């Protein structure tokens, strides 16, 4: 069993425990429940010197109500935030410059639509691990706790790899 599958199972168990709360929350957005699964979680190998690392994963909502990722934490970092890499500035990359500018911004609430999947991946949404407490070495794994609006907390284990 791959770590990712184990995670899914773990996530599923947690969801089961939290399902009552999520139903209640689900009512406000038109009924239905959210059922969130997290798969393929990984963190990029990184030196603690870099001060900030990134983790990526797929978040799938198989429920009938939307949910949203609203927070995260990890013993591997002082602070964990959801960020998004976005293209900024003039959109047309050309030889005159000003093109291809990429920036990053915190995302307070990342909606996971009912029946939808949001992929956190390089160059897009990512879990930003701020103030790494150790080097993230290939083969290690780190724990990240994701907080969703409805299903509450889901603990995932992200394996560290190069890309």
Three-class SS state of 123: coil
Contacts of 135 (CB under 8 A, 6+ apart): 46, 47, 48
Q: State the nearest-atom distance from the C-beta of 143 to other proteins, in Å.
A: 18
Give the position of tokens 């002082």: 78
Q: State the nearest-atom distance from the C-beta of 124 to other proteins, in Å.
A: 6
Counting beta carbons within 10 angstroms of the beta carbon of residue 81, is it exposed (0 to 12), middle (13 to 18) or buried (19 or more)? middle
Q: Which is nearer to other proteins, 17 or 101 (CB)?
A: 101
Contacts of 90 (CB under 8 A, 6+ apart): 98, 99, 101
Q: Which is nearer to other proteins, 10 or 134 (CB)?
A: 134
Cα diameter, the chain: 57
Q: State the nearest-atom distance from the C-beta of 61 to other proteins, in Å.
A: 9
CA 12/CA 2 separation, integer angstroms: 15
Q: Which is nearer to other proteins, 10 or 147 (CB)?
A: 147
Q: Which is nearer to other proteins, 46 or 159 (CB)?
A: 46
Q: State the nearest-atom distance from the C-beta of 35 to other proteins, in Å.
A: 16
Q: State the nearest-atom distance from the C-beta of 39 to other proteins, in Å.
A: 16
Q: Which is nearer to other proteins, 10 or 81 (CB)?
A: 81
Q: Which residues are at the interface with other proteins (CB under 8 A)? A: 44, 46-47, 49-54, 66, 68, 78-79, 81, 83-93, 95-107, 110-113, 116, 118-119, 121-126, 128-131, 162-163
**Which DSSP string do the residues of 100-125 spell out, in sequence order?**
SEEEEEE-S-EEE-TT-EEEE-TTSE
């Amino acid at each position: 069993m791959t770590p990712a599958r184990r995670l899914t199972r773990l996530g599923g168990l947690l969801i089961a425990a939290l399902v009552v709360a999520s139903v209640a929350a689900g009512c406000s957005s038109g009924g239905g429940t959210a059922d969130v699964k997290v798969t393929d979680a990984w963190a990029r190998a990184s030196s603690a010197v870099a001060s900030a690392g990134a983790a990526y994963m797929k978040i799938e909502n198989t429920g009938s109500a939307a949910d949203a990722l609203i927070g995260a934490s990890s013993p591997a970092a002082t602070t964990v935030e959801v960020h998004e890499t976005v293209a900024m500035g003039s959109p047309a990359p050309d030889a005159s410059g000003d093109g291809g500018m990429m920036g990053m911004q915190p995302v307070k609430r990342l909606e996971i639509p009912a029946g939808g999947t949001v992929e956190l991946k390089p160059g897009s949404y990512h879990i930003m691990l701020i103030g790494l407490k150790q080097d993230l070495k290939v083969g290690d794994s780190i724990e990240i706790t994701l907080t969703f609006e409805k299903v509450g907390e889901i603990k995932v284990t992200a394996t560290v790899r190069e890309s």
